[in-house]
Amino acid sequence: MKKTAKQPSTDALSAIQAPWLLAYQYIGLRIQRRVLPHFKEFGVTLQRAGFKISLLSYVSLMLFFSGVSLATSFAMTSFAAILFGTPIILSLIYGSGVAILGGLLVFGVLYFVPSLLATTRKRKIELELPYVTTHMSILAAAGIPPTRMFRMLEDSVTTPEVASEANEIVRDVEILGDDIITALEKERNRSPSPRFNEMLEGLVATVR
């Protein structure tokens, strides 16, 4: 019989495709009580950036990879310094300095990426708004109910960012069981665009 190649485990594949799962597995529960409360406002940024992972998972990712960067930077820098004849104490000092810088750099990048993505999404949404408002006005004049309007918007290929926002509203109504007003108010908190939020606010007032 031919031997079949050993298949990678499901856990290994999950860690490669979604590294925050690996981070959560190792430190998620350990930081939940003491560390996570300091990142509550950061959770809003994650939502506005369109991230589909929990705040705990992303904070675990930031801390885990910062720690990995710190450890590897220290080991590599200290070892390289020793190879070049630097005294051990100085090598450890150099390694510590580079390790701290490396850890802070990784943490800073992972911390600010969601803010940059949220700003990019805000700009794209507001570029799409003129077309969306015209489209919604036509649908409203035809007597289309709000939930159905957003169901039609989520299939739009010309306004992909607003389609993503519409998808969240439809999900809240049809899967999570929210009424349309609650779903619209939730989306106001998630959306990075103040102009889109104003449109949703006006729609809430109209529905009421």
Mean pLDDT calculated for residue range 113-141:
91
- Asked if the model's pLDDT at residue 3 lies above 50, the reply is no
For 4, which DSSP code? P
Q: Rg for the chain (alpha carbons), in Å?
A: 24
Per residue in 165-208, pLDDT (tens digit) is: 999 999 999 998 989 999 999 999 889 999 999 988 888 888 87
* Distance of alpha carbon 191 from alpha carbon 187, whole angstroms: 6
* Average confidence (pLDDT) over 27-48: 84
- Whether 59 contacts 36, CB under 8 Å: yes
Can you give the pLDDT at residue 17? 53
Contact 181, 208 (CB under 8 A): yes
Q: How many helices (H) and strands (E) does the chain have?
A: 10, 0
In this predicted structure, what is the pLDDT of residue 13? 41
> Tens digit of pLDDT for each residue in 73-92?
999 999 998 888 889 899 89
The pLDDT-based confidence of 35 (bands split at 50, 70, 90) is confident
What is the predicted pLDDT for the residue at 22?
74
> Rounded to whole angstroms, how far apart are CA atoms 138 and 71?
59
Using one digit for the tens of pLDDT, what is the confidence trace for 51-75?
A: 888 888 899 889 888 999 999 999 9
Percent share of the chain, pLDDT over 70: 91
pTM: 0.77
pLDDT of res. 20? 66
Query: How high is the pLDDT of residue 7?
Result: 45
The C-alpha atoms of residue 72 and residue 150 are separated, in whole angstroms, by 48
Burial of 73 (0-12, 13-18, 19+ CB in 10 A): buried
Q: How many CB atoms lie within 10 A of CB 88?
A: 10
DSSP per-residue string spanning 49-79: HT--S-HHHHHHHHHHHHHHHHHHHHHHHHH
- The answer to whether the CB of 149 falls within 8 A of the CB of 140 is yes
Top pLDDT among 79 and 15 is at 79
